[in-house]
Amino acid sequence: MTKTLSIELGKFGIRVNAILPGAVAGDRMERVLAARAQAGDRTVDEERTAAMTIQSLQRFVDPRDIAALAVFIASDAGKSISGQLLPIDNDMHRAS
């Protein structure tokens, strides 16, 4: 859909990109970890460790980094970027 829209809207100077965030740090992720821990009879720290095994960079995505990416691609600095899928997921390499 991103590519199709970028092709259709490009003639009007409209750029279309998709930001693909991974697991984002924050209250929601903490609730997810707690629920998984409870369901699996594990600790939250064990769940956090397990979540880190599927990504090269051992951390959750900082929401400010997602915002910075959105600002960049919307700015003049990103004026030549369109039709792209932009993962910001700490190199998550498999689904959990």
Is pLDDT at 69 greater than 60 in this prediction?
Answer: yes
Q: Tell me what percent of the residues of the chain surpass a pLDDT of 70.
A: 97
Give tens-digit pLDDT for 42-62: 999 999 999 999 889 999 999
Is pLDDT at 8 greater than 90 in this prediction?
Answer: yes
Average pLDDT over residues 25-40: 97
Domains and CATH numbers, the chain: 2-88 (3.40.50.720)
pLDDT of residue 95: 56
pLDDT band at 94 (very low <50, low <70, confident <90, very high): low
pLDDT band at 68 (very low <50, low <70, confident <90, very high): very high
> Given the structure tokens 């039709």, which residue do they identify?
83
